[in-house]
Amino acid sequence: MVKIYVVIYLVANCFVMTKASAEFNVRGRIVIKDSIYYLKLENKKTDHLIIAVDDIVQSNLKCLKEGDYLSGTANLINGTHIALKSVEHVGLQKLLANWRNDREVFNFSDFKTFYYWQFSKKIFEKYKIRNVRFEQLSRTSNISKQSKREVKEETAKTQTVSRETNRFRGPFPYHYILSPNDNNFESCSWKMFITNETEVVFAILKWISNKQIRIDIYDSNNGEILMTKHLIQTSF
């Protein structure tokens, strides 16, 4: 397999010198046939064979799967091959799902947007405190039946509100961009630029398994990890 890649690489360089188009921006979806990578360009029906021009591009390419989105720079060779010179941005098909931990839910709806929910801790604590108060009052012998009924009704209302309308805070929309990380020679991870109306956040997205991801969010002032999100894929 390595020998085949080297041959393609050398032949590609010859074509670049003679029959390649000028450098242009490419955007499209990854297609894999017999372990060979192709790019289906936007608004095009044909698949173009991808030739990685160096080891950096090759390492980024191997981290992509069928259906993933790729944006980069390339030369078109003979109208059928793409000499890929850089991978600028990607979209990961398997990221498009719901991901959660104990306190948060992330919904990656497309390759540019995700929605964020957070469990409402204050509402949960309010509901819990109301329940405890009712249990305490219920055990008190001198409380009237009317008072017990009022506390019970209020507790039921709080419980309903907590479950139906205030279980989460959100959704909060965010935009994101994924770019290749520098260490993709060793493992597949991606630089993540997250923005909303007020801030820009830099993070690193790494796959732990097919159903688990880790997002390290960095402090923009000192470059240290500010927090880490361990997320698992969920069906809701």
The CATH number of the domain holding residue 66 is 2.40.50.140
11 & 72 share domain: yes
The parent domain of residue 152 ranges over: 121-166
In whole angstroms, give the CA distance from residue 38 to residue 30.
6
Amino acid at 32: I
47 & 67 share domain: yes
In whole angstroms, give the CA distance from residue 17 to residue 47.
23
110 & 202 share domain: yes
What separation in angstroms does the CA of 146 have from each of 142, 153, 206, 228? 12, 11, 57, 50
Torsional class of 43: left (φ above 0), alpha (ψ -120 to 50), beta (otherwise):
left
184 & 211 share domain: yes
- Judge whether residue 98 has pLDDT over 70: yes
What is the per-residue pLDDT across 12-28, written as a single tens digit (0 to 9) for each? 444 444 455 678 899 99
Lowest mean pLDDT, pick from 31-35, 153-157, 229-233? 153-157
203 & 156 share domain: no
Last residue of a domain, one of 91, 109, 139: 91
131 & 48 share domain: no
156 & 183 share domain: no
Higher pLDDT, 163 or 72: 72
**Total number of domains constituting the chain:** 3
107 & 195 share domain: yes
What is the per-residue pLDDT across 122-162, written as a single tens digit (0 to 9) for each? 544 554 545 455 455 555 555 556 555 655 555 555 454 44
Give pLDDT, residue 152: 57
63 & 15 share domain: yes
173 & 152 share domain: no
Lowest mean pLDDT, pick from 142-151, 192-201, 212-221? 142-151
Lowest mean pLDDT, pick from 9-18, 34-43, 115-124, 146-155? 9-18
187 & 109 share domain: yes
103 & 131 share domain: no
